[in-house]
Structure formats: C-alpha cells, structure tokens
Amino acid sequence: MPGKVAKIGTFSDWVGLFNDWRKEIGVNTDDIEAFKFDTLYGAIETDDIEFGHYKGKRKWENLRQIPTQQMRDALMNMIVYQGDTEFASVEQQRNLLENAPTDWDRRAITRVMIEEMRHGWQMCALLIDHFGYYGKVEAQKMLERRAFENKRLLGAFNVDVDNWMDFFTYTDFVDRDGNFQLQMLKFSAFAPLGRSMSYMLREEAFHMGTGNDGLRRIVEAGVIPAWLIQKYLNKWISSSYDLFGTDHSSSAHWAYVWGIKGRYDEPKNDKAADLDDLNDYNRSLYRDEVSGLIERFNSSLKPGEPKLYAPHIKFNRFIGRWANQKFRAQTGEPLDDRAYEEHLKEYMPSAADKKLLLEIIETEKKWIAEKTGARDPLATIGEVRKSAINL
C-alpha cells in the first residue's frame, strides 16, 4: 500500500477515528452517542473446516495458521469489502433520521444505523487484531472513504438512500444481500470471522424485517401506486443482483477452495459446488427468496393494481454476463436501444417519479400504515447480545 501510513497503533486509536467519523457524517444523535459499541463473538457450529481443499482440518484461529500469503490476502480483502458496506450504508441513510414517518420508524432507523456501525467496528477489530500493519491501514481507510463522494468499494453503496421508500426497499433487499454474504462467511475456515457472523446475522434480521414490514405497510396503505413501488423494487433489487459479483469469478472460486467463503446453503447442500459459477448460484437463491417475499405483498394490494414482482435477473445489470445489455424488467426479453431507453423511463425511478413520491410522502399522512404491536427497537437492541461468548 504505497503512500499510506497507519495513524493508528491500537484498537482504541481506531475507536477515536470512529468517533470522529460519526460526528463528521452527522449521525451522532443522543441515542447513537449513548450506545456502547462492542466486538461480539458467538459460537460456531464446528471447529473443523467445512468445505474446500482443507475440509476436515482444524479451522484457523490466527494468520500464522493460514497456509499461504495469497489466502491471507484474499481473506483480508473479503473483510475489507464487508466492513466497507457497513459504514457506507450509514452514510447513505444519514439524512433520513430527521424525517421518519413515525417515531417507531425513527427509532428503528437509529437501531439499524447503530448495528451497521457495529458491523463495521467488528470487521475493523478483526483487521486490527489479526492482520498486522496492513490490517490497521485498511481499518483506517475504511473511515476515510465516503459513499457520498463515490468512494465506497461497491457501486450500490455509493447511491443515495434519500427517502423512506428507498430506505425500506434498501433494508429489505440490499441488507438481504448482506445477510447472504454474512451467511456465506459464517462457514469460513477463519474461525474469528465465522464467530463474528452469528451476532451480525441476528442484527441483520432486524434490518430486513424493518424493510419488509415497511414495504408491507406501504402496500397496505394503498396510497403510493403499485407502478411506482415497482420502480423502486427494480432499482434496488437489480443492484443487489450485481452485489453477488461476476459470473465465473475466479476469486469466488478460490475463496471456496481455500475454505474462506461457502455457498449460502453450504451445510444443507450435499452436492459438489460448481466452482466456476458460485456467485450466480448464490444470486439465484437470493432471487428465489426475494420473489417469494414480493409475492406476499401482492395479497395486500388494492384490487386492480398490477402485481409486484422481482425484476428479471438480466435487467439493469452492470456486472456479470448480462452487464450493460438491454432487457425487459419483468420478462428479460431483449430490447433494442430506442425501446430500452423508453423502457427504463417506465421501469426505473426518474426525477419526476422521485418528485411525485416526495409529494405523496409530504402531503398524504396515510402513505404508510401505522406500525402496530411492535416493541421499541431501542429497548430491545440489547437482547440479541446476551449470549455473546466474549462478554
């Protein structure tokens, strides 16, 4: 890493940078300021490597036990990418704390932000505790990139999440991609990474639940037309498809062979992995899950509204074999240049759509159904942490 000098020696130095970062991006509300952040490790199902070339051998507890430098580099890279998305999501959502539709929602987004910061914290703790000097440099750079300066490592994490329709769609579907990634890392041969995942996964469940239930409340309210909701599904779900990475990825291939990252359904899947197509395999599992969730919304739609759907796997892709080609959102049929230009206007949110959406949100109080029967997200935030093995 030429030209980059670590300013930090210890994890508490890093915490100083983290405290500056949250003030600087403007999310240090009283609730967030008061939260006590922790590194949390949970139990893993087995101490033996679960897949790949080293299957059956003991999982690694530290870097010295990892057989090659290439493997250590791949592992560090994976942790850096994961951590980057966590801090990025807080930056993307930073302006929404002010205009939550209800007090429950304000408390829910506060919790989501706290937990995303904790996930970034957890990844930085791994980098600093295990990866020596370069781990410290990476943990520091994690707080120097900014989503709103287009510096985060993955495209979807540089896009603004600037209204509450975006927020619910994002937490339902982009956080769900995150959930897939965490699940795949949970089976990692690097035991401290696997142990980091059990808490992160529990926290992630709240984010996806908030998003999914938010969208259900919007559909039930019946104020925002289904065609407009569909555009937001198209936007965030298509970019989530990209987040699984390229088809025929060699880094996914090696991460599997080396035991660093498994398939989403790894322990249940007794078939040999198709090493050449891992990302697309996980992507298709994701699409199945998402399609099922959207199907459930359809039962709450007002009569006469068009059914909602998950966009076709080929639509609006920028990564993989369908990248930069032109297909219909619902069916994946090819379109020529002119027709596609028109199609995008109909199927992706435009500036006019955003204006209409904001008008509805501002003027129609009942654009989203009340949240009923739910417990206070900030009162229950500690519950998932009770059984951490290192507290």
Contact status, residue 348 vs residue 234, Cβ threshold 8 Å: yes
Closest CA to 285 of 176, 167, 155: 176
- Nearest approach, Cβ of 204 to Fe ion (angstroms)? 5
Restricted to residues 193-222, the positions that interact with Fe ion (CB under 5 A) are: 204, 207
Question: How crowded is residue 204: how many other Cβ atoms within 10 Å of its Cβ?
Answer: 24
What are residue 327's phi and psi, to 5 degrees?
A: -135, 155
**Direct distance between the N- and C-terminal alpha carbons of the chain, in angstroms, rounded to an integer:** 35
Please select the residue that binds Fe ion; options are 22, 94, 107, 119, rule is CB under 5 A.
Answer: 119
Restricted to residues 77-96, the positions that interact with Fe ion (CB under 5 A) are: 86
What SS3 state is found at 334?
A: strand
Size of the site for Fe ion (CB under 5 A): 6
What SS3 state is found at 322?
A: coil
Closest CA to 193 of 244, 112, 262, 246: 262
- Closest residue by beta carbon to Fe ion: 207
What are residue 333's phi and psi, to 5 degrees?
A: -70, 145
- Establish if 166 lies at the interface with Fe ion (CB under 5 A): no
Please select the residue that binds Fe ion; options are 105, 138, 175, 177, rule is CB under 5 A.
Answer: 175
Length reported for the chain: 391
- Select 167 or 347, whichever has its Cβ closest to Fe ion: 167
- Select 119 or 216, whichever has its Cβ closest to Fe ion: 119
- Select 110 or 230, whichever has its Cβ closest to Fe ion: 110
Contact status, residue 327 vs residue 333, Cβ threshold 8 Å: yes
Residue span binding Fe ion (CB under 5 A) among the ranges 101-109, 175-183, 221-229, 383-391: 175-183
- Select 166 or 175, whichever has its Cβ closest to Fe ion: 175
Binding pattern for the stretch 305-324 against Fe ion, x by CB under 5 A and - elsewhere = --------------------
Place of tokens 């520091």: 140
- Select 172 or 204, whichever has its Cβ closest to Fe ion: 204
Q: Which residues contact Fe ion by CB under 5 A?
A: 86, 116, 119, 175, 204, 207
